[in-house]
Amino acid sequence: MDIRTVATQPYSDQKPGTSGLRKKVPVFQQPNYLENFIQSIFNSLEGYQGQTLVVGGDGRYYNRQAIQIILKMAAANGFGRTLVGKGGILSTPAASYVIRKNNAFGGIILSASHNPGGPHEDFGVKYNISNGGPAPEKVTDAIFANSKTIAEYHLLDAPDVELDQVGRFKLGEMVVEVFDSVSDYVELMQSLFDFDRIRQLLTGGQFRMCMDSLHAVTGPYAHALFEEVLGAPAGTVLNGVPLEDFGGGHPDPNLVYAHDLVEIMFGADAPDFGAASDGDGDRNMILGRNFFVTPSDSLAVLAANAKLVPGYKDGLAGIARSMPTSQAPDRVAARLGIECYETPTGWKFFGNLLDAGKATLCGEESFGTGSNHIREKDGLWAVVFWLNVLAVRQQSVEQIVKEHWQQFGRNYYSRHDYEAVDAERANKLIEGLRAKLPTLPGQKLGSYEVEYADDFSYTDPIDGSVSQKQGVRIGFTDGSRMVFRLSGTGTQGATLRLYLESYEPNIANHGLDPQVALGEMIQLADELAQIKTLTGMDKPTVIT
């Protein structure tokens, strides 16, 4: 076995964000850049010799080349077995399941999630631990520390592995198993949902659905699930072939970027149900005919209807949501008599709660929903969950959501994204807000009175770890609030996210456009943070 030890020098910019290391493809193509980061991952781990590593990605540009490098480095570093998705394709939810099912030591997922792909677009590398979830901060901190001192990496000199053929191969002393991850994932969904009932819904002739995979990783999974196993007509899945550049599109399932689906669902003779998923398959957007379901409402509706679904018929242990997510799930939890945990943004913060049996359903306003079946958010799982609820209740998406508002009240909610903001200006905005926090409680801002103002800090109830500076919150006495965060998922400049929420218990006032209902607060947020002045932008890049 010919193992090369290659001398290298550190790069200073390899600090993982909320979802691993994300950079432009040319950055990863720099000499030793990817190799440095992979070796830094291995250097930060203990006890993996002879163990199993899962490897795969969302099929974006550079996915195949990176997999070959990672396999040869895993062999050189002493892993005993690697499991690789056929064609290098492995959705993030499927990767989490494969790690758990095979008792793997961990996994390396190659994705930049909902960011664009292509030779000059985004690429990402994320390490998941043995529970199938993203590495916690103590692990990513160790990876970053290693990346700053790395002097060499190890690589096996060997031919590339045939990724398009299912089978077992040897790479030095390491076994490489190329497997079809789609069948495993379909079996997992069958264990949770009433496929017979969903099949009746989709084949009865009265109900039509449309699933847009945005030329991203869920295409093969969606074809297998909806058109083959559940019997939906051919053509139900749109843009179902994964492409290295996602067909030139932006694989982010929101009202702006999933425009083909939005036109269909808000057009003449629209289907009854529409859904989209993102680059790596962990996000979802849910639409009814001429009706958009916010991710926060989606989590709340699924929690309120969980007992209709076989996998959750015994009830929920608890609900967990990210801090910027609306408080709609909190109201469901209170009615059910269970806990609702508020965590920082990032799915890794849900892992301890799920492992400890404290939560069953989890969600983030950024179009991510999931449960304790794996340790990642899961876009197709959310779609099948909705189909199961629709099949049982025999109502439209709009009817189900509006009945939910009647029962629990409506949380008007919106997120305004200002993308590619100059990082220095974005930090100045956040620091300016932090400086104002002590003076805000008790102040009147327009028709609102400030009840609290803080920079969200989270103490993990399971391991006691503390995460600080997770978002500036300004809450008002009527339960409304605004939240300001800089996102860690972009690769260019900074993304400022503004979250706005107002609770409306009066059914007569449930029919407003959210931008109208939140209009005064939107203006107040701009005045308070000087958004237009500091970002140089007249309006958000994306409103969801």
What residues are annotated to the active site? 113
Burial 259-270 (b: 16+ CB within 10 A, else e): eebbebbeeeeb
Give 226's DSSP letter. Answer: I
Q: Residue for token digits 């209170």?
A: 334
Q: Residue for token digits 């299912």?
A: 166
SS (H, E, C) 420-446: EECHHHHHHHHHHHHHHHHHCCCCEEC
d(CA 315, CA 355): 17
Query: Strands 209-212 and 273-277: what pairing?
Result: parallel
d(CA 433, CA 445): 14
Contact 403, 442 (CB under 8 A): no
Q: Residue for token digits 């903001």?
A: 421
Sheet holding 291-293, edge to edge: 237-238, 209-212, 273-277, 284-288, 291-293
State phi, psi for 113 to the nearest 5 degrees.
Answer: 55, -115
Element (H, E) at 403: helix 397-408
Give 308's DSSP letter. Answer: G
Contact 398, 289 (CB under 8 A): yes
Amino acid at 299: L
Contact 113, 3 (CB under 8 A): no
Nearest Cα to Cα of residue 115 among 378, 490, 376? 490
Residue 24, classified by CB atoms within 10 Å of its CB into exposed (0-12), middle (13-18) or buried (19+), is middle
Query: Strands 291-293 and 273-277: what pairing?
Result: unpaired
Neighbours of 533 (CB within 10 A): 12
Contact 421, 495 (CB under 8 A): yes
Q: Can you name the residues that pair with 421 across neighbouring β-strands?
A: 494
